[in-house]
Amino acid sequence: MGPLLHEQHLPATELIALIRSLADQVVRSRLDHADHADHADSGTLQAEAVLAQSAPVFASLYGLTRATQLDAKESRARTQDARLEMDAAHLRLQNLLFQRNHIEREIRAAEEYSSEYQNLPLLDLDELRQLAASEQPPAGLEVPLPEGDSDEAAHRLMLARLAFELAERKRFEEERKELGAVKAKLVKENEVKKARLEELEKQLTEFVEKAKGIQAKMQDEPTAA
């Protein structure tokens, strides 16, 4: 049993079994010498010797218990740290999910967005190409027109169509203003002519009335003999 008593790092189960074995030895020693008074002292000495030999075992058990308690404390601390880390990871995951949902909503909104240019009555693309290929392309038309099947080419072509549409509308607006100015001038001239005509009609009416009066007087005068 001597070599076993110096094993300071035995597992807890072996230490407990060893302590039980030492306890059984002490009990048997007590029982063996209980009926013999002359051997009582030797039995006591033997029991004390066994207990003394068991001291390292108890020390090992105490150390193991202490280490177990420290391990349990560290384990609880690690568990708490892991729980905090898990909560933080869960929060980060929730934030990422929120951001993903927000981005997905923005993507859907962008895909479903109906821009004003989609409802504009743009010039037919074939007619636009014919204008671009003419000897004197109209002002505001990008020449040559963007070509290609890529999304970028389609986007540039749409920008060119919109730019030409804007230039044409500005031109039409200028023409409308010019025609409006010409119309206003003609209306003013017509109003002046109308006023002059009315004045002439008034004068003519007065002249006719005077002529009628003169004619009536002439008819009322006696005819010369």
Contact 140, 167 (CB under 8 A): yes
Of 59, 53, 52, give the one whose Cα is nearest residue 9.
59
Q: State residue 185's pLDDT score.
A: 92
pTM: 0.41
AA letter at 169: R
Q: State residue 104's pLDDT score.
A: 92
Q: State residue 225's pLDDT score.
A: 44
Contact 45, 20 (CB under 8 A): no
Q: What is the mean pLDDT of the chain?
A: 79
142 φ, ψ (degrees, to nearest 5): -70, 125
